[in-house]
Structure 1
Amino acid sequence: MLNTDLLINALTTLLVTIDPPGMAPIFLSLTVGMTRSQRMQVALRGTLIALGILAAFALFGESILSLLGISIGAFRIAGGLLLFVIAFEMIFEKRQERKEKTGEVAITRDHMHNIAVFPLALPLIAGPGAISATILLSGAFDGAAGRVQLLLVIIASLAILLASMAVADRLDRFLGVTGRAILTRLLGVILAALAAQFVVDGVRASFTTYAGP
């Protein structure tokens, strides 16, 4: 059965974490000198690799946590705090600066041979924030049908990201410096609220789990 509110919450969380508008200028800097066709090849390959990584955590994230003896409540608290740090960086423009530095290092070291893998797929798309958000969301999607829905949400999020990279040059010109700053801060506030909700849910789940009879 489809839970519309849960699906919207999951899509919003992943989109804000992945940040397609913010990725556009970084993607352009990573692929400078490439033709449009070459850029699309890099974007498609990087997106598919990121999809594989996030799908693996969506399917097996809870099993990994159980193996390590970590409750989903504890991970919700930790993941929520991590997402809050990312939101803080977005609001104060620290995340964009860090991502741009990551791109610059990759260009000089690898000479753009493996850009799709590093730094595009990891850590720019499927970074700690996206992985944490995916594992957190997997706890809310129960059963095989729920996991399929979560996979569809991940695919939809990455499809939007791929579209933003396809029109990165136009999107960057349209938003401009001011537009990017406003949008990044707005998304940061939304992510902060979602992160706080994850922490609240984690505390509630932990009290429920460890409360005595």
Structure 2
Amino acid sequence: MDMATYITAFVTLFVVIDPVGLAPIFIAMTPNMSAAERHRIGLRAVVVAAVLLMLFGLVGEAILTGIGISLPAFRIAGGLLLFLTALDMLFERRTERREGQAEADPPGHDPSVFPLAMPLLAGPGALATMILLVGEGRGIGHVVMINLMMLTVLGIALLLFALATPLARALGRTGTMVVTRLLGMLLAALSVQFVIDGLIGTGLVG
């Protein structure tokens, strides 16, 4: 396949993953954290997302089919989980938990795996896109190129995550709280769209 095919794959993954749109959400999910903590969380999220996307590109459809899960059902589940995170952001529950603790958050409050890695970076749309893109060609070279395009998009996301600390410093506490609530609303809308798309995929909604 020619290079134009892989450029199209890059653009498709960039639009679906949307690293630019995730950067402010990353700030909202890592309040009061140092640059080192943000870097660690961002790097872990990107690595986990990369592994998931590679895995689904290779055997994702077989895995879901094998356990009786359709892609629309997977999308609905991701939307419901994302909605719970949006509620936390809207009502500042995450910030209140952090401010009420003198010590570092326990592992359960680390947002790197959920919701950053999944379903924000490696969401149902991105996982389904990887399955489709890998299936468009044959041979190890095609698989390597698709994964290279995916890693490039995630690399851009990591770079934007690295800019989170200076941006949060510029916003200040009040600005960060306003952005957090605004993005919580947008995230809630995105999660509902995931559910609607899943329902349409099942044929229950026209």
TM over 0.5: yes
For 1:1-213, list aligned pairs within 5 A: 1=5, 2-3=7-8, 6-12=12-18, 19-29=22-32, 31=33, 39-63=34-58, 65=60, 68=63, 70=65, 74-86=69-81, 88-89=83-84, 93-96=86-89, 100-101=93-94, 104=97, 108=101, 111-112=103-104, 119-133=110-124, 134-142=126-134, 143-173=143-173, 175=175, 177-190=177-190, 192-193=192-193, 196-197=196-197, 200=200, 202-203=201-202
Secondary structure, aligned partner of 1:112:
coil
C-alpha distance 193-183 of structure 1, shift in aligned 2 (>3 A):
same
Matches of 2:54 and 2:84, distance apart in 1: 29
Matches of 2:182 and 2:94, distance apart in 1: 21
Matches of 2:131 and 2:92, distance apart in 1: 29
C-alpha distance 80-94 of structure 1, shift in aligned 2 (>3 A):
same
Matches of 1:169 and 1:11, distance apart in 2: 26
C-alpha distance 25-80 of structure 1, shift in aligned 2 (>3 A):
closer
Matches of 1:148 and 1:189, distance apart in 2: 31
Normalised to the residue count of structure 2, the TM-score between the two structures is: 0.64
Matches of 2:130 and 2:182, distance apart in 1: 31
Q: CA contact under 8 A between 2:56 and 2:130: conserved in structure 1?
A: yes
What RMSD over aligned residues (CA atoms) do the two structures have, in Å? 4.1
Q: CA contact under 8 A between 1:86 and 1:129: conserved in structure 2?
A: no
Q: CA deviation at 1:54?
A: 0.9
For 1:76, the aligned partner's letter is L
Q: CA contact under 8 A between 2:50 and 2:151: conserved in structure 1?
A: yes
User: Unpaired runs of 5+ in structure 2?
Assistant: 135-142
For 2:132, the aligned partner's letter is A
Q: How many residues align?
A: 188
Task: Report the more deviating stretch, 175-184 or 73-82.
Answer: 175-184
Secondary structure, aligned partner of 1:28:
coil
